[in-house]
Structure 1
Amino acid sequence: MDRNIGITLCLMLKLCYQDHTMSETHCPARCHCFTPTRAICSEERMLTMPRNISQVRELVVMTTGLSYLDTNTFQENPRLAKLVFLNNLLREVSVRAFDPLPGLEELEISGNSWLERLYPGTFRKQVNLTRLLLNFNRFQTVTPGIFDSLQNLETLQLKGNLISHLPGLLFQNLTSLRSLDLSQNALTRVDRELLTGLTQLETLILGYNQITGLSPDSFHNVSQMRELYLDGNKISDLPHGIFSNLTKLEVLSLRGNLITNVSHRTFPFSLKELNLNNNKLSELSFNPFTSLTALTQLYLSSNRLHELPVDLLRNLTALQVVDLSDNQLTSLPEEIFMELSDIKVVHLHNNNLSSIKPRLFEHQVLLEQLYLSQNNLQNLPLGLLDYFLSENMIRLHGNPWNCDCNIQYMYDWMGENHRYVEDLSKMLCAGPVPLRGQSLASVHRDQLVCPMQRSPQPSHCTLHTDNDTLIIKCKVDKCSPLKLKVQLYEDDGRTAEYIFKNETSQCSNSTITV
């Protein structure tokens, strides 16, 4: 059973059980009558419709052996307002089957793998129909004129069929239609003529077809559209002006296509959500998003981006979610998020980032989620995480952390905010050798040390203790520019540093004592 069909059924059952006020004494065999007006019939051996449920207004028939709806099927059910057929064995529906149901408002015929067609005139009496769902059948085409009488229809779904072509003007009389779902078919193109008459259309779903290209005027007849989904097709190019007539479009999803480039002013100014995940984008130039001042969500995951222009997000002051994960980014411009103070979620995981600029998130004080996992980061720069005003969730695992003195800032931040770090135990040290493979959370702060650096000329130092005094003696070679740096760490994380230089005026062997 299709997941959406299953969810629909569950909601129906829940609603029926909530209104359970009627005894099933007079309910037909193989049916459940939860109220005097609602019934569900489900039995594989059921070959005909029940005859004694004349008061029912909402009827669900599922998983039966019913194969044919004829002219007499609904003669005794004139009050039906909602009729649902799910996962039956329907092979044919008579052109007059629904004539006795002029009051029908919702009709679904879905999940019938033997049903290949519906005839013109099938819905001629259903002038009050507002929802028609014809999903997951075996339609290869749809007969012209079949929807002509449905002028009050608001939702039409034809997803999950085998449709490769739809005749022009098929929907021309559907002047009230607001949502059209043609996803999961085999459509190869979208003609302007196909959408003629859909003056009120707000949502169009064309995902997971075989669409290879779009013409500049494909959507010029649907100016009221607010949501357009073209996921999972084979679109490689977006013609100039293709969305220019969609001045009210708020959601545009193009994920899972073959798009290699997007140009300036491709997208309408009204967009609030733009999804370009899983395409073939290798670069973004010419400020393709700069005019989208209403945009709140931008998804660019799973492309081939290896660098980003510093002004990529300029003017996107309403932006709240940006997803750049699963690319090939090695670095980010420090100013890329500048002045974007509304950002709440940043996805940067699964890239090749080896370093991050300290002020990258200087303006993101409201950040709630930050994902930096699965990169090549060895440490985080001092102050990077100090700008956030609210508690935020951060993901850092999957990086080759170098657990030396340079990671102490991140270590201290994690100690204070460990409950907000996801998968803390998976943050492993890649070095130095003594700590390799250990969880950073299990390492003591005193172990985060950097190895002593050798001076340009070899020197020999010894350490001695005298009560509370540590004495370091270094024997330096002639004219050595030796500089001795001493760092003292306090428990609260503060550091004191002292530097001693060999400032002898003559070149001679000497000893520095601290």
Structure 2
Amino acid sequence: MKFHHAAAFLFLASFCHCAVSCPALCKCYSERKEVVCSEVPLIEFPTEGLPENTTMLTVQLTNITSLSEHHLKATPHLQELHLYGNKLQSLSSHLLRGVPQLHTLDLTENKLSDLPVDVFSDAPLKNLVLKNNQIKRVDEKWLPDNSSLTWLDLSGNSLTEISVGFFQRLPHLENLDLSNNQLEKIPANSLENLSNLKRLSLQNNKLESLDASVFQHTKNLTSLFLTQNKLNWLPQNLFQGLTSLTHLSLDFNQLSHIPIGWFDPLSSLEESGLDLTLNPLRCNSRIEYLWRWLQKNKKKVLSVDNIICMLPQSLTGHPVISLTENDLNIGSCFSTDMKLLLLVTFFALPDFDYKRRSVHSCPDRCSCSFLSAEVVCSNGGLTVFPRTGFPSATTILSIQNTNLRNITGGDLSAVPLLNNLQLYHSNLANLTSDLLVSVPHLETLDLTGNKLVKLPANVFTHRSLSNLVLKNNQLGEADPAWFSQNSSLLYLDLSGNRLTSISAALFNKMPLLRTLDLDNNNLQELQAEVFRSLDHLETLNLAGNKLITLKPQIFAHNLKLKYLYLQENQLQDLPANLLHRLQHLELLLLNQNQLRHLPKGLLDGINPSLQIILSGNPWDCDGKMEYLWKWLTNHRQNVLFDDEVTCDQPKPLKSLQVSSLTESQLGVRLQ
């Protein structure tokens, strides 16, 4: 009997010891074999009291400065070790020798700079995170040969170069994050051993270009992030072979042109998979390839209407996709380079059979692409809509540079499956109210460059219509009667007309509108409530009008606004609270106005990544300039062409850069 009591006592004692064994200041979860030591005053690794069977250990936000192999021997079954936000400065060689099952090591946000040889050897690591430390170089000797790593995060360090030998030890790597470093160059052969790489982030470095062969061996890439570098030129065949790429980010760079054929290999891009916004694109004939590619692939592009021209000034702020051949000075025919590219592509098609083409119909004076179901009619002699000869599956019809003059709903009955109708520069003077009755699937209607003065009621009461372009006509008013209630419009371009006013009643019918272009009209004043119903508006272009001021609450209901174009007006002053609710604003153009000061507080609380252009205003560099002067001094990274923000008055300061002035020159005293 005594024996049984003793055995029971020893069992209970043993059980109690295991249940309560836990380092001081930590929490132990025995069921999931996890220990957490968070935000506690630890200065040494909590080895004593760690349950031997621990598989997950988190020590974060403490004052621990070092970690050695000896510390980890207490947990031989450890699989995950998270050491976020400590003050670690040193790790020992062979750190992981005592944890042979460890697959995840997270050392985010410590103070690591130099690491010893074999620090990450001895364990089958799959995931290694060294994010937000002070590492200036990576050493291949940290790792074993043929490392099992699949995820490596080195973002937020001070790397200036990449070691080719380091990546040669990572044949299984699938995810590599090198963002937020100081990289200026990626060696051509640095990624050649990363054949399994799927996700690569190089954003926010100092890259100006990339070698043509840098991605030659990474054909399994699905996501590539090159955002916020200094890329100003990239080779034509850079993306050759990246047929699995679904996401590509090139925003916030210095690209002025896109090489011909650049995006053609990217056959797997997903919807909104390409981001090309915030590049200083020069919209001349060299932008032709991009212009045509965007027309055919707009669904693959994120914020396609925000890929805008920076130069020439006559097109500044204009979406590339909305340009015309006349804007680009390319005429009605393809450029020589484009013709050559299309010719090569045409004869390279493996399934092309020239003899089969003759059995397809095509209207006179038109050309037909049977692979893409597209018909293009570009001939000055075309005066009547070609009702016969259309391929039955036609979904895209482009009639441009003709003398068509009129088109009716009966004409369009020849193309009942039409999805996209482009009627550029065809001298159209009239439209009928039944125009779209026969095309129930139409989503895009482009009437750029015609002679439309007045339109009939109900002309655009079409349920599926989501994109409407009336650019460069002679419209004196935009009549709400054109549209039905709850229109499906997402994109409306009324630029280049003769509008002197615009009514809230028009936009009350467009609750889904995301992009509105009123550029280059004669608008002199806008009512405070005019945009009130546009809750989803992301892009608003009011450039090239005659606006002198704006009502304080005019944008109060457009909380999703990202891109606001106010350049080339006659703005003399702005309300201090004009932008206060626009927390998502990414681009603001105020150049070429009559601004002499900015009101105190105008730019307070803005999105930290906002880009703004202020050049071309007659700034008075006196005491009232203090607010803008201080803001420019503290936000140089937010200002494009800051060297062109110069004084107009007084004469002694004329043409001097505002941000270069001193307080004595402005006659202000710093607090």
Query: Which bin holds the TM-score, normalised by the shorter protein?
Result: 0.5 to 0.7
TM-score, reference length from structure 1: 0.61
Partner letter of residue 249 of structure 1? L
Higher strand share: 1
For residue 219 of structure 1, report the CA deviation from its aligned partner.
1.8
* Unmatched runs of 5 consecutive residues or more in structure 2: 1-329
| Counterpart residue number, 2:468 | 252
SS in structure 1 at match of 2:406: coil
- Give deviations 1:175-220, integer Å, cap 9, x for gaps: 4211111111111001221111422110001111111111111221
Structure 1 Cα separation of the partners of residues 371 and 583 of structure 2: 49
After the TM superposition, which residues 96-245 of structure 1 pair with which residues of structure 2 at under 5 Å, given as runs?
Answer: 101-102=355-356, 104=357, 123=358, 125-126=359-360, 139=365, 154-166=373-385, 169-170=387-388, 174-244=391-461
Aligned match of 1:4 in 327, 334, 344? 334
Displacement of 1:226 after TM fit? 0.5
Partners of 1:208 and 1:358 lie apart in 2 by 43
Secondary structure at the residue paired with 2:478?
A: coil
TM-score by length of 2: 0.47
Contact 1:184–1:208 (Cα < 8 Å) also in 2 = yes
Kindly report the root-mean-square deviation, in angstroms, between the aligned alpha carbons of the 2 structures. 2.7
The Cα of 1:429 is off from its aligned counterpart by: 1.3
5+ residue gaps, structure 1, are 17-37, 40-56, 59-78, 84-100, 105-122, 451-488, 495-514
Offset, 1:316 = 0.8
Question: Shift of residue 10 of structure 1?
Answer: 4.3
Q: Is the CA contact (8 Å cut-off) linking 1:180 and 1:203 kept in structure 2?
A: yes
Percent of counterpart pairs with the same letter? 25
Work out the CA distance in 2 between the residues paired with 1:446 and 1:3. Answer: 59
Displacement of 1:15 in angstroms is 5.2
CA distance in 1, matches of 2:596, 2:372: 59
The alignment status of 1:448 with 2:670, answered yes or no, reads no
Aligned residue identity for 1:432: P
Contact between 2:363 and 2:388, CA under 8 Å: does it hold in 1? no
Aligned residue number for residue 274 of structure 2 = none
| Mapped partners of 1:160, 1:413: distance in 2 | 54
Amino acid across the alignment from 2:644:
K
Matched, 1:347 2:565: yes
Q: Deviations over 1:141-165 (max 9, x none)?
A: x8xxx99xx9998211112442011
SS at match of 1:287: helix
Greater RCO, 1 or 2 (C-alpha within 8 Å, sep 6+): 1
Q: Aligned AA for 1:164?
A: T
Tell whether the 8 Å contact from 1:170 to 1:194 is kept in structure 2 after alignment: no
Say whether the 8 Å CA contact 2:531–2:557 is kept in structure 1: no
Determine whether 1:362 maps to 2:557: no
Q: CA deviation at 1:305?
A: 0.5
Distance 2:627 2:372 in 1: 61
Cα distance in 2 for partners of 1:225, 1:6 equals 32
For 1:282 and 1:426, the matched residues in 2 are separated by 31
2:424 partner SS: coil
CA distance in 1, matches of 2:373, 2:615: 48
SS at match of 1:301: coil
1:67 corresponds to: none
Distance 1:430-1:151 versus aligned 2 partners, 3 A rule: closer
Q: Distance in 2 between matches of 1:80 and 1:320?
A: 43
Aligned partner of 1:68 in structure 2 is: none
More helix by share: 2
Indicate if the aligned counterparts of 1:352 and 1:376 stay in contact, CA closer than 8 A: yes
Q: What is the rounded CA distance, in whole Å, between the counterparts of 2:445 and 2:414 in structure 1?
A: 17
Q: CA deviation at 1:390?
A: 2.9
| 2:504–2:531 contact (8 Å) kept in structure 1 | no
Supply the AA of the counterpart residue of 2:407.
Answer: V
- State the one-letter code of the partner of 1:441: S
Contact 1:263 1:286 in 2 (8 A): no
CA contact (8 A) 1:165 1:187 kept: yes
| Aligned partner (choices 330, 337, 342) of residue 548 of structure 2 | 330
Report which stretch shifted further, 209-218 or 434-443.
Answer: 434-443
Q: SS where residue 445 of structure 2 aligns? A: strand
The alpha carbon displacement at 1:432 in A equals: 2.6
Q: Equivalent residue of 1:252, what SS?
A: strand
Q: Is the 8 A contact 2:504 2:532 kept in 1?
A: no
Corresponding residue of 2:214 = none
Q: Who is 1:264 aligned against? A: 480
Change (3 A) 1:354 1:212: same
C-alpha displacement at 1:430, in angstroms?
A: 1.9
Q: 1:437 — aligned with what? A: 655
The SS at the match of 1:407 is helix
8 Å contact kept, 1:133–1:157: no
Displacement of 1:257 after TM fit?
0.2
Distance 1:206 1:264, change over 3 A: same
Rounded Cα–Cα distance in structure 1 between residues aligned with 2:425 and 2:611: 34
Quick check: 1:264–1:288 contact (8 Å CA) kept in 2? Answer: yes
User: What is the letter of the counterpart of residue 360 of structure 2?
Assistant: Q
The structure having more radius of gyration, on CA atoms, is 1
Change (3 A) 1:151 1:420: closer
In 1, distance between residues paired with 2:517 and 2:371?
36
Distance 1:414 1:286, change over 3 A: closer
TM-aligned CA deviation for residue 230 of structure 1: 0.4
**Post-superposition shift, 1:392?**
1.3
1:421-472 Cα deviation digits (max 9, x unpaired)? 122222221223332332212311222127xxxxxxxxxxxxxxxxxxxxxx
Contact 1:317/1:342 (<8 A) preserved? yes
| Deviation at residue 340 of structure 1 after TM alignment | 1.2
